Structure 1
Amino acid sequence: MARVGGRNAVVAWVIGVGCAAAVGALAVIALPMLPVSVSWLGGAAGAPIASSSVVATDATPRPSGSASAAGAAPPTTCDQLYDEALQADLDVAEGSQLTRSIDAPETTATALVAALQPRVTLTCGWRSDQGTISTTLAVVPTDAGALAASALPHAGFTCTAQGERARCTRTEGDLVETIEAGGGLWLSTSERGWHPSGYAGRTAARVWGH
């Protein structure tokens, strides 16, 4: 059969024109979506990745309603724990001697100490001819005050609310124990034979600011 020259070229040209027209039509149809697509890509490129947007926080409890919240950090040395008058009363006592440490709280409330596991920052131990005083400042969970108020009455303590914290006291003979907790801080004192006036309340004021 004879071959007709130029037929394939004509057919190819017609098909090419048709394809170009189809592509042009698709471009016209898609044109209105172009700004939306660009906007979406830009947003996706600038959007933060969820797993990397987590900001590390300080794990150390920040006391609430404490001296640190009022602008001053809790005491870090024994002299910061006392006002001038109380410091003078302690210093002038016959045979007065101060020992600074980070020893565990001296208290009969051993079950509460085991449960809260206070992280001791300061223990001030006083000894004089009158007796001994041991005061411990520590960091505890923020609900320690509520736990103390719930548990300590069963151990012979009497608890009262001091604003957002709890103060629990126990007296047995010449021993007076005070445990105060709230806002992530613990302050406990054991006075044996030596009871400076208002000692527990005055030291608490230095820790919590009131």
Structure 2
Amino acid sequence: MAYILVLYYSRYGSVKQMAQHIARGIESVSGMEARIRTVPPVSPTTEATDPAVPESGAPYATLEDLKNCAGLALGSPTRFGNMAAPMKYFIDQTSSLWLSGHLVNKPATVFSSTASLHGGQETTLLSMMLPLFHLGFILLGLPYTETDLNTTQSGGTPYGATHHAGTSSKNPLTDEEQRLCFAQGKRLAEVAVKLSQGQIS
């Protein structure tokens, strides 16, 4: 079965929860599987030395996971309006896929979480899109037919799903945030199916 790679980094669990709701949306589409993967943390003094398999949670992503996916949902917390270093570190290792063109014309989408409501959600999403454009992905956001975009008092942008985690990083995902994550995953999977069937060219 074809799969969408749901690739995330999560320090305190919020982005992980978002990834799970996006995966639910992906798997609501017939013929599409969600493959959830994460990336290891990096050290300020040396390269990451985590074991090949994490002790718990999602497995670490490989370039093969990315190469063979039918689409990508990429998630990271905000770090000064940008993606977190562990995710950037992983993306920086994808030059071989850029050179080979394996990711060209595959659909992708991005999602993020911040401690404060105006803590760089949209700039983080945009910064995550930039390398995906270079890799050849077709970027998808959230259309305003998702009515939660007009009413949410928490996260949610047309560039992708977001979450307001709070300064303690313990705010649960709101109903609106959960629905937007689900809708984003579902849209990504629907477009991936249409592309695979030649309905979009």
Larger radius of gyration: 1
TM-score band by shorter chain is: under 0.3
Q: Scaled by the length of structure 1, what TM-score is found?
A: 0.26
Report the structure, 1 or 2, having the larger helix content.
1
Bigger strand fraction:
1
